[in-house]
Structure 1
Amino acid sequence: MIKTLDRMIIKQFLPTLLVSMLFFILILEMVELFSNLWRYINNGVTITEMMQVFLYYLPSCINFSLPMSLLFSVSFTLGNYYANNELIAIFGSGVPLFRFVIALVFFGLLFSFASFIFEERVVIDSFKLKNELTNKLLRQSTSLNNNNPTVIDNNGTIIYSADFYNDKDITLSNIIVIHKDENGSMLKTINAEWAEWNTDEQLWEFHRCRRYHHDPESGFFVSEYDDIFTDPVFKTDPFTFRRVIRDVGEMKIRDAKLWIESLRKAGLPYAESLTAYYRRFSFSLTPFVVCLLSAAIGGRFRKNILLMSLLTSLVISVVYYVLQLVFTILANLGYISPAAGAWIPFIFFCVIGFFLYRFAQS
């Protein structure tokens, strides 16, 4: 009998899920269209080009709409069973609510793993293409120049500080470099009018610079002036001086991990990127937690099932995403750890889901 009940609930659940996903995908695509419509018109973007943007955005819409669709589908399916009094026989036969909806919860867990793989294999690349095409069509450019860059390299033994970094020419203006040994003792200091990246030797050339370095014979620091000075130890990659505009959401897990590690080694702020990295894992489990929640509360609706299921799915989704946003901001500002900022909303809703099952009609 249990297998028959599982097949019955899945048979009614899947068509509802498909229709609701199409509905939410359409809404997301329409929001994207109307938010940029006037820009498309002003830049003479053709319908074919707009359709290409929507095609690249489709995988992201599928990923975003899945949790809301699961919420609605589970609530609507169970609401129909309650309204038709079909659960009286099921509960009367000794089948508890959690056992009856275990197939839906399992589907939520399955969709969570599928969502993570789908995002890693498809969504990341398509979303990056969508952003690149949108910027091209709207004639939007991004500057990598950076004001007042400060970079720490070589495990904290080399510190760069400049007034301006020019990414086109790969130069640093009014730069100061401090070089220390592993014990923190000063080895040399460089004050240069500007520095240029030597692409052949892969190091920095300092122009019109004054060096202060330790003289082992006298035991004092001496000052020297050079028109051009190079040292193989000053080979920090120019990308670390760029204005940080890379989005972890457009990187695959491996690339995101390497990017965060490079930020950490360079002494640049990385809390925001690390929070987004952890959130990639917690967000992929959203289908599981929404199935858990909707299965506990979905059967409480006996009237206006369609409207109440839709309203419930939207309300829970908004609360969940707002809670994620709040804790993400707290993590970015350093009030909580990046891991806590990414996982607390998920854990909180899981606890609520299991708590609701204790008081659910069964």
Structure 2
Amino acid sequence: MLTIIDKYILKKYLTTFGVMLGLFAPIGIVIDVSEKINKMIENKIPVVDILIYYYHFTIYFTNLLFPIFLFLSVIWFTSKLANDTEIIAILSSGISFTRFLRPFIIGASIVSIIILLMGFFIVPKSSEGFNNFRYTYLRGDGKQAMRGESTDVFRQISNDEFIYVNSFDVASKTAYNFTYEKFTKDKLAYKISASRIQWNPKTKRYTLYDYVKRTVGGLDDKIEKLDKKEAKFNFDLEDLTPVVYIAETLSLVKLNRFIEKEKKRGSSNVNVYLVVLYKKYSIPVSAFILTIIAVSVSSMKRRGGMGLSLAIGIAVAFSFVFFDKIFGTLAEKSSFPPLLAVWFPNIIFGILAIILLRNAKE
């Protein structure tokens, strides 16, 4: 059963975190608008698309900086409790510091479950909307605004099949400058090219425009040309998507399937996808670690007041994000194990949390 004190602290935990999100999300939107307003005007982007983009941006932005928001909110209201001598009164009543932590852990559990579910289902959709907007409207010099930036996607989809596209527009499910090569016993059997290829979700087939098929013969080649042709290929729509954000747009089940498929193909980008997968689990765990650190740092009344606690909190929060980015990039660009890279910040700051908690108890 939750006591009055538990309910009081838990309410403070959740409301302060909500207020922190409500304060920083608009700031992020304003900064983003100031950076992109010129291209939005130049490319004459519809207002509806802009509003949808900032809906996705808000979810993407808050999920990305969730550790900072959570840490600062706990530091803020715990420091206020300490400065008002409320924590001293609670501990003087016979409640142990471990018992005092219980509502904080409950609050961290609620937040971590929400973040976990969002990472599985909601964030991938927002990431897709966020990146679609950038690649459709904001990349390049504006001439390719409706096509997306040149991404040069090249993939081996089986032992003897290869595909290539110059650019891909996720919104219209269209790839440009498409090439498909089929080999038989290490020799090119035929090659298909098209100026663009579009996926039709209803028919589950691709439509190729300016279709050309060259079948390699013993003495001469056979060439087939059509303005438009429907065909079925042994690759998924995701295979045409730029590597930079494909994993972020997939739900948990689809991401697991995609990673297994890429492993079988021997893809060099598996580590990139594994980092995204492991972060879905590591980020919610960080809620507990950062909560314990924040309470341990700010639960004692200091001469510097809330300002000193906030300064320490900001330093720790940004250090956590720094380690998270550094080791994530290290796993993507090298042979460093993705699982260790993703969980390394939690391990380091988990040890720090234990040390600070022991000192706070004393």
Normalising TM by the smaller chain, what interval?
A: 0.7 to 0.9
What SS class does the counterpart of residue 156 from structure 2 fall into? strand
The normalised TM-score by structure 1 is 0.75
For 1:281, the equivalent position in structure 2 comes to 281
Greater alpha carbon shift after TM alignment, 131-140 vs 276-285: 131-140
1:227 aligns with 2:221: yes
Aligned counterpart for 1:171 among listed residues 174, 179, 199: 179
For 2:187, the equivalent position in structure 1 comes to 190
In structure 2, relative to structure 1, the CA distance for the partners of 1:103 and 1:311 (3 Å cut) is: same
Contact in 2 for aligned 1:13/1:73 (Cα 8 Å) = yes
For 2:248, the equivalent position in structure 1 comes to 249
What SS class does the counterpart of residue 360 from structure 1 fall into? helix
- State the 1:131 CA deviation: 3.1
Tell me which amino acid in the other structure corresponds to 2:263: R
Instruction: For 1:280 and 1:325, locate their aligned partners in 2 and report how far apart those are by CA, in whole Å.
Output: 14
For 1:207, the equivalent position in structure 2 comes to 214
Write out per-residue CA displacement over residues 243-271 of structure 1, whole angstroms, 9 at most, x where no aligned residue.
64542112111111122222222222111
Tell me which amino acid in the other structure corresponds to 1:76: W
- State the 1:50 CA deviation: 3.5
Tell me which amino acid in the other structure corresponds to 1:256: L
Instruction: For 2:40 and 2:304, locate their aligned partners in 1 and report how far apart those are by CA, in whole Å.
Output: 40
Which structure is larger by alpha-carbon Rg, 1 or 2?
1
Instruction: For 1:36 and 1:310, locate their aligned partners in 2 and report how far apart those are by CA, in whole Å.
Output: 31
For 1:185, the equivalent position in structure 2 comes to none
- State the 1:357 CA deviation: 0.7
For 1:216, the equivalent position in structure 2 comes to none
Write out per-residue CA displacement over residues 158-208 of structure 1, whole angstroms, 9 at most, x where no aligned residue.
34578x667546434xx683x6xxxxxxxx3314574469x79xxxx9835
For 1:67, the equivalent position in structure 2 comes to 67
Instruction: For 1:2 and 1:245, locate their aligned partners in 2 and report how far apart those are by CA, in whole Å.
Output: 46
Instruction: For 2:287 and 2:18, locate their aligned partners in 1 and report how far apart those are by CA, in whole Å.
Output: 15
1:109 aligns with 2:109: yes
In structure 2, relative to structure 1, the CA distance for the partners of 1:333 and 1:112 (3 Å cut) is: same
1:142 aligns with 2:112: no
In structure 2, relative to structure 1, the CA distance for the partners of 1:336 and 1:56 (3 Å cut) is: closer
Could you tell me which runs of 5 or more consecutive residues in structure 2 were left unpaired when the two chains were aligned.
139-144, 167-174, 195-204, 207-211, 224-232
Contact in 2 for aligned 1:208/1:225 (Cα 8 Å) = no
What SS class does the counterpart of residue 94 from structure 1 fall into? coil
Instruction: For 1:98 and 1:119, locate their aligned partners in 2 and report how far apart those are by CA, in whole Å.
Output: 30
Alignment of 1:22-61 (within 5 A): 22-45=22-45, 49-61=49-61
Tell me which amino acid in the other structure corresponds to 1:141: R
Instruction: For 1:253 and 1:297, locate their aligned partners in 2 and report how far apart those are by CA, in whole Å.
Output: 35
* Alignment coverage as a number of residue pairs: 326
Alignment of 1:88-99 (within 5 A): 88-99=88-99
For 1:237, the equivalent position in structure 2 comes to 235
Write out per-residue CA displacement over residues 81-139 of structure 1, whole angstroms, 9 at most, x where no aligned residue.
32233333333333222220221122112211111112333332233223334444442
1:123 aligns with 2:123: yes
The normalised TM-score by structure 2 is 0.75
Tell me which amino acid in the other structure corresponds to 1:262: K
Pairwise CA RMSD: 3.7
Instruction: For 1:310 and 1:101, locate their aligned partners in 2 and report how far apart those are by CA, in whole Å.
Output: 19
Contact in 2 for aligned 1:120/1:252 (Cα 8 Å) = yes
Instruction: For 2:241 and 2:128, locate their aligned partners in 1 and report how far apart those are by CA, in whole Å.
Output: 20
Instruction: For 1:328 and 1:279, locate their aligned partners in 2 and report how far apart those are by CA, in whole Å.
Output: 9
- State the 1:359 CA deviation: 0.9
Contact in 1 for aligned 2:160/2:186 (Cα 8 Å) = no
Alignment of 1:269-348 (within 5 A): 269=268, 270-303=270-303, 305-348=305-348
- State the 1:292 CA deviation: 1.6
Alignment of 1:341-356 (within 5 A): 341-356=341-356
What SS class does the counterpart of residue 207 from structure 1 fall into? strand
Give the fraction of aligned pairs with identical amino acids, expressed as a percent. 18
Q: Give the 4+ runs in structure 1 shifted more than 6 A.
A: none
Greater alpha carbon shift after TM alignment, 65-74 vs 20-29: 65-74
